[in-house]
Structure 1
Amino acid sequence: MSTIFSKMLENTGVIVEGGIDGEISTLALISLFTDARADDSDTLPDNSTDLRGWPGDTFSASPWGSKLWLVYREKLTTDTRNKAVKYAQDALAWMLRDDGYGVTAKSVVVTGSIPQFQTLALHITITKPDDEVITFTVSKRWETQSAV
């Protein structure tokens, strides 16, 4: 993983552990931490009206990024963990599609846990077409809650 990208994650309170050493894992992290545009039906944090999103989506048939940003201000519960897992799965689904360049992965599995107080961990396992398995964990400490 590049030093610049590593520093960016460090500054957001995100810890990445595991097989981050190549193109696939870097693309996965970019997919997870690029803000996807919220749908009109999504509940936005802090009563905002900013749907965010990546400007490059204008030129893409499929949107990039994840909606993980929607849960960062929620109280960390099992429901929040489940939303985060769904958002991560959605963000990585592009790896399974053949967009004309071939598929990037045979399978992508995301599981979530709350391993310690106020910490969410997403465990990512990507099986490449050649059966190489890349596994890493992304953890974020919950510092702010909108619920009391």
Structure 2
Amino acid sequence: MDIAFSNPGKTGFDFATDGSDLIVSDGLVTMFIHALFRDGRAPQDSIPAGTDPRGHWASALSAKAPDGSLLWRLSREKITPDMPHRVRETLEDACAFMIDETEGPAADVIGVEAIARKAEHRGRIEAQLNVYLSRRAIPRRFALVYDTANHRYEFEEIA
């Protein structure tokens, strides 16, 4: 069990509350939020000299900590026909560590598949994550909307 997160303004996640009490979740969603929306450190050879490679301080705390994703790098680019493919790869790369986990919320994860497409709304990429678990016949599905024009994002489980 873990503290749930919410994103009511679509600009950043915070602890979810129900009045004055914290809401508890299964922990898997929290792992996805950290893996996808925390800035991963860009390899030095992939950014111009003198550019901040970003990254998150918590990644240094444990070798098993999720490094975050490089979605932040894609937000600086124009949406081109190949952008959905690159978003898909970025999402899958950010979640790959979960497949090898043997304990905790991701212990049952045996696969993560991302599907991304350019949305009809300008400046938006819509994606779906299918998370395959060893103890479930059907995957858990999550919808992700990344709006680069307005710097807003959504992440929620699809029932």
Give the shorter-chain TM-score range.
Answer: 0.7 to 0.9
TM-score, normalising length: structure 1: 0.75
TM-score, normalising length: structure 2: 0.70
Structure richer in strand, relative to its length:
2
| Residue in 2 that maps onto 1:138 | 144
| Residue in 1 that maps onto 2:114 | 110
Q: CA deviation at 1:23?
A: 2.2
| Residue in 2 that maps onto 1:17 | none
Cα RMSD after superposing both structures: 2.6
1:51 alignment partner AA: P
Structure 1, unpaired ranges of 5+: 13-20
Structure richer in helix, relative to its length:
1
1:33 corresponds, among 7, 31, 37, to 37
SS in 1 for 2:86: helix
1:123 corresponds, among 128, 135, 147, to 128
Between the aligned partners of 1:95 and 1:49, the Cα distance in structure 2 is: 29
User: How many residue pairs are counted as aligned between the two chains?
Assistant: 132
Q: CA deviation at 1:143?
A: 1.3
| Residue in 1 that maps onto 2:8 | 7
Between the aligned partners of 2:45 and 2:127, the Cα distance in structure 1 is: 25
State percent identity of aligned pairs.
Answer: 21
Structure 2, unpaired ranges of 5+: 13-24, 151-159
Contact residue 121 and residue 140 of structure 1 kept, 8 A: yes
SS in 2 for 1:41: helix
Between the aligned partners of 1:104 and 1:91, the Cα distance in structure 2 is: 17
Question: Which 4+ runs in 1 deviate beyond 6 A?
Answer: none
1:69 corresponds, among 72, 79, 83, to 72
Between the aligned partners of 1:84 and 1:90, the Cα distance in structure 2 is: 10
